[in-house]
Structure 1
């Protein structure tokens, strides 16, 4: 019960893999699942990112004979006080849920290890890696949600993404191409695993391809390097689509479209580049770079639209609606379902404040400034090296007054001589152009800084994504230990080192306070209202349940009863089902809802009092959300849930009720004429009467 909403939804698949005998039966049940969107049959591998649960579940089944001992499982009875029956509680890695959580903690540890390796490689210093890890734990609440929602998809994918970006940085630094094949294989496998673990990975990879394409346009990397990068995505994308059994959202993603367009560019158009010899050539190339980036972006959008129209898909339409709602007044039911949740709100100022107090952001600002200053200094040095050469050429071209006489000097009107002079001036080296061409921007550093900027924009728009931004900040903070960036004057260097040493103290202060606060959380979970509901459901005959997405996830996990809606929102039909079920909290008629429930073949409707009577200062009550969706036409009606909870309504008969939940049995048309005054008959008698009528 403590695994709620999305967490309970995903854990139910792990539970299926662990409990079904034989193992193949569990896999078959996932591929032909009639529980999650009753009565429709759903392939869970295709629709949901459940591969982590399947892998961990298979591993548990393999090691279970060695874990089923008193050494790994300890059980005891818990007395819950007067009025409540005692329950048995078992702990230890031999218990399925603890084995599952241990796997998540291992991934969290892998994330820190990958962070250390990435930062150490980028800064070329052990201290850089150590600083990144210290900053990670100083800002642990900003860098991860693993302590609150352990099996969230990002907790599986974040360590793999960190490893992938580390290997990409190594690949960009490997100029001699000694380890290209091992790196390619490792990156391709990680790309595939990331796509299997988290549906949002496609947007991260979209950003990566865009950054690499821009780097190629700016000649920071070669077309060969871009092609190698695309090859790893080609293998990873196709393997992921195969293992996801043709996931529609991935096939129709902007990531897949951009990959195709950039690949076509590399194959057919990458050779059309201006050879820069003069400032005019430089301006012309800048124009073509901007045009190419614009054309690739537009072509990718149109290709995505064509694929979506051809396959008749609208899987990620809600994501673009959310983005539009962030910048405009556009709102609908689905955007409000997201934006009313705190994790999908804008990044709060307190997060920036916390990361500044721990000296993370100051370290990052200094590291980025140092990198750009180092590149600027290299540009200045290139200009200084070109000046003597130009002066030597001027001396050689001066007239000595011995060989050239007045008779030998060309006449001003000689067209051949004028043409030669023009050609000589055009071919003369331009010091500015040569210095621009000689800029040596480190590809790995540029890639990681660009990634940081994009992650920052994502985090600013959606707070849930701040883990990407804050972790990347930890990586970039390691640049303060990159020795070759200290090209400042000696006096400035001393001052900078002194300031950086002073920054260690606020970091350690934040580290101690943060760790103490997180370790001090010792809580106990209990929800007797939901426990009563679930126990009642388990005593009923099999039937499909409708209700809010969080409670339906608990029903699916704890009772194994069919449900008609679920928390995984990245599918058009799933959103439509949730839209239909949540009408119970809108200003609709009972007849309208009854017709909708009949189409879904719902047996029981669960109504929650806190959703029905809840208050919100942000306009996030369900009645407010439905008012935005339906307009002013129905504002005079009371919410349907108010009527169901206070009056007797045809087709909806109360069979269970406690302080938080009410369950209504929904009749089909064959028994719609039967009416019972539910308020005068005990719940158990009503249920017995209804069951006897149906039988």
Structure 2
């Protein structure tokens, strides 16, 4: 409790000010695992279990000797081990997503293999464990899997909204950028709504989940202004407004006009409300993001953008990364998968279903119809592909932000792996090939694809295993020693 008080009343980090670092820097992982470490250490000490091994290291005449320890009982090891344990759940979420996208366990294996072969381009946890995204992304991908399951099975109700909200809350508490990821998710779900590809009850459940998670996170982050003034909260409001006036918009039967009006309402509402809130409260904590984009495209720099863009992580994604993803066959496989779904979507539904909305079932989304294949044959099997449609839109959003800021490839690369699972969807391929693809032949082709991916993938995994290092920075240590010896403790 004393530690929690100290970080919420911090007068050391920012000279001349007392700040709430829990609110400012999303330090919830440290608080939560410090709490568990106290319990773990108390129990192991009480029963006399040795959880660490320590020894002294003599570092010569220039640096003093130090004690070095390893083992989970050491606070640093306890912290890092839990980061890696959390990051390890990403593989499980990707496997589940692969199964949901392909309706086959082989799709799960394909997505998982693609992730393993491209792990170095999918995360930075192995380089810098304390990064906020190292803690938050496992919850983001788990939440996406949960949302995909809701969409795939047309679930609705408060319990589903709460389950989705719990995963979203952890992501927001752990990383301030999570709200932008969820903004793109709301946009992807809204596209699903605008095309009438999901029931109103399911859409409302998803929106309710986002609203619950926003309110809870806002309170737990002590009224974080950046969360309130970001695009996330305005997009929730715009989505709610679109659902409120849905009975009026539903009278439009010409689909392109219906989609255009809905998307215009969502985009204009999100940007407009964000502008009003930010200027009314005079809070522009996320202005640096727009400044970075302005610097990238228009060359208009300020002090902060120069600090950001001098780092490779904030530049455009390099060609070298794209080449690596191509060599491992991830980009070609994901591209082929999206192309196959686009062909299915454009050419294997009747023109009337694309241009005109149903008049007989006005007021009801397509997924509300019980005997779907019989009553709406012009959307042949689309209800089985809702989760693919959502994830393809989500993939486009993630690839866009990955291209703009290389650091965010942790969104783009895993979703490319998930997209490859579409290739294992036997039902989808047989609609296009008119039932000419034998199931076992298809499984054989998936096996051959994984084997082809393994050619460069094994080299990538080997490189990951060969990374062995130890943190050492004598110059920085000397600087800290000088500060401790040459300056007075406490406030000046």
TM-score scaled by length of structure 1: 0.63
What is the match of residue 348 of structure 1? 318
Equivalent in 229, 232, 254 of residue 255 of structure 1? 232
Aligned residue in 1 for 2:113: 134
Separation in structure 1 between the aligned mates of residue 251 and residue 471 of structure 2, nearest angstrom: 68
Aligned to 2:81: 102
Distance 2:215 2:180 in 1: 16
- Number of paired residues? 464
Q: Deviations over 1:106-160 (max 9, x none)?
A: 1111111111122122222222112212111111110010110111111111110
Shift of 1:60: 0.3
Q: Which residue of 1 aligns with 2:393?
A: 450
SS in 1 for 2:246: coil
CA distance in 2, matches of 1:77, 1:439: 67
CA contact (8 A) 2:24 2:224 kept: yes
Unaligned runs of 5+ in 2: 354-375
**Greater alpha carbon shift after TM alignment, 99-108 vs 79-88:** 79-88
- Is 2:227 aligned against 1:212? no
Gaps of 5+ in 1: 1-23, 384-433, 544-560, 563-602, 604-695
CA–CA separation in structure 1 for the residues paired with 2:441 and 2:300 = 51
Bigger helix fraction = 2
Tell me which structure has the larger Cα radius of gyration.
1
The residue number in structure 2 matching 1:503 is: 449
In structure 2, C-alpha distance between the alignment counterparts of 1:504 and 1:229, rounded to whole Å: 34
Alpha-carbon distance in structure 1 between the residues aligned to 2:197 and 2:287: 35
Among candidates 412, 415, 437, match of residue 472 of structure 1? 415
Do the aligned partners of 2:242 and 2:262 also contact (CA within 8 Å) in 1? no
Q: Give the CA RMSD over aligned residues.
A: 2.5
Please state how far the C-alpha of 1:46 moved relative to its aligned partner.
2.0
Do residues 370 (structure 1) and 340 (structure 2) align? Answer: yes
Q: CA deviation at 1:74?
A: 0.4
2:484 maps to 538
Q: How far does residue 304 in structure 1 lie from its aligned partner after superposition?
A: 1.4
Structure-to-structure mapping, 1:273-292, within 5 angstroms: 273-275=249-251, 281-282=253-254, 285-292=255-262
SS at match of 2:208: helix
User: 1:73 offset after TM fit, Å?
Assistant: 0.9
**Distance change >3 Å, CA 376–CA 299, structure 1 → 2:** closer
Deviations 1:24-64 (A, max 9, x none): 21111111110111221101222121111100111101111
Task: Give me the whole-angstrom Cα distance separating, in 2, the residues matched to 1:292 and 1:524.
Answer: 54
TM-score, normalization by structure 2: 0.88
Quickly say closer, same or farther: Cα 1:334–1:121, change in 2 above 3 A: same
Q: Write the distance in 2 (CA, Å) between the matches of 1:201 and 1:46.
A: 14
**5 Å matches for 1:124-523?**
124-175=103-154, 177=155, 180-267=157-244, 269-275=245-251, 281-282=253-254, 285-376=255-346, 378-379=348-349, 440=382, 442-487=385-430, 488=433, 500-523=446-469
Give the Å deviation of 1:531.
Answer: 1.7
Q: Equivalent residue of 1:36, what SS?
A: coil
1:30 paired to 2:23: no
Q: Which moved more, 1:373-382 or 1:108-117?
A: 373-382
Q: Secondary structure at the match of 1:88?
A: strand
Q: What is the DSSP-based 3-state SS (H/G/I as helix, E as strand, rest coil) of the residue aligned with 2:411?
A: helix
Contact 2:100–2:152 (8 Å) recurs in 1: no
1:289-333 alpha-carbon deviations (Å, 9 max, x no partner): 313322332232221122112211111111111112222121111
Q: Could you tell me whether the CA contact under 8 Å between 1:34 and 1:41 is conserved in 2?
A: yes
2:434, 2:250 → 1: CA distance?
A: 38
Q: Is the 8 A contact 2:158 2:205 kept in 1?
A: no
CA change 1:319–1:382 in 2 (3 A) is closer
